Each structure stands twice: as structure tokens, then as C-alpha cells.
Structure 1
């Protein structure tokens, strides 16, 4: 059995709003430098993210090959996005560690961890929750035991 692996020429990481891939920056220049067909990516990405809300940030890892073809993997939105939505915030604290701007319950973090675990399926849910607690701390969001305490 012989298998020909395509030669990878570039790996591009972008965060694009769902349904918002356009040939303008940051998508256009990043794909153009790798010699990829920008409109093919934009149409495919926008079709795959059509069911998402418009402002949801979607991290994408694009692998460009020597024959000008590409493949891409969409990740789940950043943890900070989910935490801000759960806490009802626009942004985190200006002084994290000194000032709490909101609170989220462990139940909310567990629900977020179940979604985020899709990016790292081998990590146990408890580890993902601990990581989310660290993200909350760095954003100035207090973690409480019960939803009523939030």
C-alpha cells in the first residue's frame, strides 16, 4: 500500500464571526498569502455556520497544501465568550482579582465544559471545569456553588 500525503505549506489560525467570512481582512490576506481560493473558503464556512448566531466567534484552523487545496477544522467558541454570555457581561473586569463584575454557578461552568470538551475529547470534564474557573478568575467573574447565589 502506498499513500501519498499532501505536502502542507501553511497552517493558518483565525477567529471569524459565524457567517461572517468575507474576502476582506483578516480572512483575505491570510488565505491569499497561502495561495488559496478565498471565496471557496468563505462560501463553505458561511454555509457551515449558518445555524449559529451572527456574533459567535468561531476559531478555525486552516491547513493549506502544496497543490493549493485546503482543509479546515472549526473549534468551539472561546471559553470567555461562553462565560460572558452566562454572566450577562459585555466585557470582563478592569481589575481582575480585585474587583468582581459578575458571578456564575458551577452548574453553568459544567454546561460550558460539556461544550468545550469537544475540542479536547480526552480531557476529563473536571479538568475542563477547573480551566474554566481559571478563566473566570482572570476575567473578574466570581464562581459560586449554586445558581441562586449568583
Structure 2
């Protein structure tokens, strides 16, 4: 009969630094997945993204095997890195915490394009600009 999908789990893990502790262990444990095996494979695939938050979709099958798909890092994480800030503004309308250039926005949009539901890169840039605005980051030319 083959393998059947039991569930899909979405977690955000720091690249190259996954451990069996939460959120990984608590997400995979109830499904009987070999957590150590997942941690090993994930860390091997995300070596070059060390320290960056990486969303991952894990598909668990009825024989307790799994596979996973890495997504691009969240726009907010990429924007914080580009602007050189630790966190976004608590009040984005009054307090601006950093600036990014339109070139940086285009770079982030190209990186995230596959995971955004945009019809073009120009649309993706607008989506990323909106995220920046809501974080209190100014966009400059």
C-alpha cells in the first residue's frame, strides 16, 4: 500500500543549531519520529544559514519516517539583518528604528519570491516594504 502521510508539522528553527529540545522535540515526539535523525539532517542542510531562523515543513508518514522542506527565512528576520537592528519598533508609526534601501528590499524579495504569493518580483518588493513599514523600518532610495 505504500506510505501514507500522517501529519505535516511547521516549525521555525535556527539554522545549523537544531536540538532535540523544544520546539523540535515537542513537535515531533508525539508522532514517534526519530528526533535525533531529524536534527542531524536539518543541521547538515542548514550549515550555511547558521544563526538565521529557518521555517521548515516536516511531513510525517505512517511508518514513522519523515521528510522536510526548508523555506526561506521570515521577511522580518531578513529585514532586521539588513537594517542592522535587534528588533522592530513597538510603535512603528512614531518610532523608526532603522532604514533599508530599495536595493536591499529587492534582494530580500528575490530570496523570498518562491514562498510569497506574488505574481512578480515588483509585487514581492511591495510585500516586503509593507513588512518593513510595520516594523518601524524606513525605506530609502
TM-score, L = length of structure 1: 0.88
Instruction: List, as ranges, runs of 4+ consecutive aligned residues in structure 1 with deviation greater than 6 Å.
Output: none
Alpha-carbon distance change, 116 to 109 in structure 1, aligned in 2, over 3 angstroms: same
Q: Of residues 22, 26, 31 in structure 1, which corresponds to 2:28?
A: 31
Alpha-carbon distance change, 76 to 7 in structure 1, aligned in 2, over 3 angstroms: same
Whether 1:115 and 2:111 are equivalent positions in the alignment is yes
Higher alpha-carbon Rg: 1
Q: Is the 8 A contact 1:117 1:125 kept in 2?
A: yes
Q: Which runs of 5+ in 1 are unaligned?
A: none
Q: CA RMSD in A?
A: 1.5
**How many pairs were matched up?**
141
Secondary structure in 1 matching 2:114: coil
Q: Which runs of 5+ in 2 are unaligned?
A: none
Q: Which residue of 2 aligns with 1:135?
A: 131
TM-score, L = length of structure 2: 0.93
Whether 1:77 and 2:73 are equivalent positions in the alignment is yes
